[in-house]
């Protein structure tokens, strides 16, 4: 334990990078997912097909491959698009999370009784107004539980960014191990920190669920 505590400050620095990546990816992934989810239920075939294609590609390929394409493959063809590892990681995780969140959003929107849309239209609201004011607020409550699972998964999946030399929590642990050869202690501490991060996320999501009445 004394050995592990010696390197704890370095692991916490890596954990802070992990938290930043997860936070940014959650925000942009949620916005992208909601946009694509709306595209999936759009009246226009063009938007439905584009959204379906995006989800098919992203969900059908590994996150690690997507990360390599964004950080290595695209800059090799377009050098001007070379990005720091942190930016590449946030883009890849946001795009990946967006595909899964889109399906969560689509399912939540389609679970709302169509009669509510018809009632809104009868009151003079347009389709867009009915979606913004009536459907999406109700759908959001139903989205929260599966979104919480997606956010927790995102924290764990962020460990893949260590493969592009980004010093997140896992990469920092590996760096310490390479100089100390103390696998058990360091990996144990890394696991504990990941567990604390996912537990904190679970707690925050659960509080938000109860606050918005997701279980009513």
Instruction: Give the pair of three-digit tokens for residue 23.
Output: 């936070």
The confidence score (pLDDT) of residue 20 equals 95
Mean pLDDT of 138-153: 85
Selected from 2.30.38.10, 3.90.1150.10, 1.10.3720.10, 2.40.50.1020, the CATH number assigned to the domain covering 2-211 reads: 1.10.3720.10
Average pLDDT over residues 150-175: 92
User: Does residue 216 have a pLDDT over 70?
Assistant: no
Query: pTM to 2 decimals?
Result: 0.87
Distances (CA, A) of 21 to 94, 157, 159: 9, 11, 10
Residue 214 has pLDDT above 60, yes or no: no
Q: State which of 42-46, 76-80, 130-134 shows the largest mean pLDDT.
A: 76-80
Average pLDDT of every residue of the chain: 88
Q: What is the pLDDT of residue 213?
A: 64
> Who wins on pLDDT, 16 or 125?
16
Question: Which range has the worst mean pLDDT, 57-66, 99-108, 131-140?
Answer: 131-140
List CB contacts of 14: < 8 A, sequence separation 6 or more.
Answer: 167, 168, 169, 170, 171, 172, 173
What are the residue boundaries of the structural domains of the chain, listed by start? 2-211
The closest of 205, 173, 182 to 9, measured between CA atoms, is 173
């Amino acid at each position: 334990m004394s050995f592990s505590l010696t390197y704890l400050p370095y692991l916490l620095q890596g954990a802070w990078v992990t938290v930043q990546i997860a936070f940014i990816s959650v925000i942009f992934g949620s916005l992208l997912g909601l946009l694509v989810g709306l595209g999936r239920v759009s009246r226009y075939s063009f938007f439905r097909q584009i959204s379906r294609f995006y989800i098919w590609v992203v969900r059908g390929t590994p996150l690690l491959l997507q990360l390599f394409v964004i950080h290595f493959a695209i800059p090799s063809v377009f050098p001007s698009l070379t990005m720091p590892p942190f930016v590449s990681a946030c883009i890849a995780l946001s795009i990946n999370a967006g595909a899964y969140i889109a399906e969560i959003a689509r399912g939540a929107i389609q679970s709302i009784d169509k009669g509510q849309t018809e009632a809104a239209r009868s009151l003079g609201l347009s389709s867009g107004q009915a979606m913004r004011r009536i459907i999406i607020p109700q759908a959001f409550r139903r989205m929260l539980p599966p979104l919480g699972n997606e956010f927790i998964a995102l924290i764990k999946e962020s460990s893949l960014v260590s493969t592009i030399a980004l010093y997140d929590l896992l990469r920092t642990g590996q760096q310490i191990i390479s100089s100390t050869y103390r696998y058990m202690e360091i990996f144990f501490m890394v696991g504990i920190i990941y567990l604390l991060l996912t537990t904190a996320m679970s707690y925050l999501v659960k509080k938000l669920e109860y606050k918005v009445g997701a279980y009513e």
